[in-house]
Amino acid sequence: MQGMRSGEWDQRSNSVLGRAVRLLAAFDVDHPQLTLAELARRSGLPKSTAHRMVGELAEHRLLEVDPDGVRLGMRLFELGQLAPRERSLRETARPLMEDLREVTGATVHLAVLEGVEVVYLEILRGKGAPSMPSRIGGRMPAHATGVGKAILAFSPPEVVTARIDAGLAALSRHTIVQPGRLMRELGRIQAQGVAFDVEESGLGVVCAAAPVFGHGGGVVGALSVTGRAGRLDAARQAPAVRTAALALSRQLRRPAPPPER
């Protein structure tokens, strides 16, 4: 963690909670199910410790165990749905996303920034949509995606600095990996209100994205339309994306209705 000495981080990661987090974090999109041996190896925990903690986490439905291995439990999904900011944003955005998909025929993404990565809260797949690296709950580096750049362009300078300091890894040969070029791109996005991903997150995929603002005017996320290069005209669809993002921003800024009596 930022600002934490390595010894403090080691101590915390070896606490009961820290070990539980290491077990849960061992799963990813390529490893949704693991054997106990794989889970111990990927978490860095002794097999006996992993076995004991898997049993405890399974009792609380945070993990599920069957003869084929171990996987994340339904209770994690249930708890995730209760996160207030993400739930409110997702529920408010869903009708606008459906309209945007209907108008463009493209896949529509809703994402937020967490640290230096974007997390996808909702994805509505378009008809005949290409295979994409994004998934609901998945993460991608902010500098390599349209939604990420749309958010970074309207974020405080320290957020952009953190992304650059973390390294601008290339997801494809088109990913922006030079800090100066990224800063110029963010300036253009800020001036035009729309970001483009031209095969930067993956070859054959393009998108147009626009920022979403909440109470106080701060950026809270981004919407995008995504499709196959050569089939989706991202520049042509940009006005529709920006209109949907502005409509969502207006809804998020409305005062909450008074509670019923």
pLDDT in tens, 25-73: 888 767 888 999 999 999 999 999 999 999 999 988 889 898 889 988 8
- Residue 259 counted as domain residue: no
Q: Residue 223's domain spans which residues? A: 84-253
End of a domain among 31, 51, 79?
79
**CA 64 – CA 142 distance, rounded (Å):** 32
More confident residue, 260 or 45: 45
pLDDT reading at 179 higher than 80: yes
Instruction: Domain count for the chain, please give it.
Output: 2
pLDDT of residue 1: 42
pLDDT of residue 226: 95
End of a domain among 61, 79, 97?
79
Residue 32's CATH number: 1.10.10.10
pLDDT of residue 66: 86
- Residue 1 counted as domain residue: no
End of a domain among 50, 79, 108?
79
The answer to whether the CB of 40 falls within 8 A of the CB of 26 is no
Local confidence band at 76 (pLDDT 50, 70, 90 cut-offs): confident
91/75 same-domain check: no
Q: What is the pTM of this model?
A: 0.71
C-alpha atoms less than 13 angstroms from C-alpha of 153 in its C-beta half-sphere: 28
pLDDT of residue 162: 96
More confident residue, 83 or 190: 190
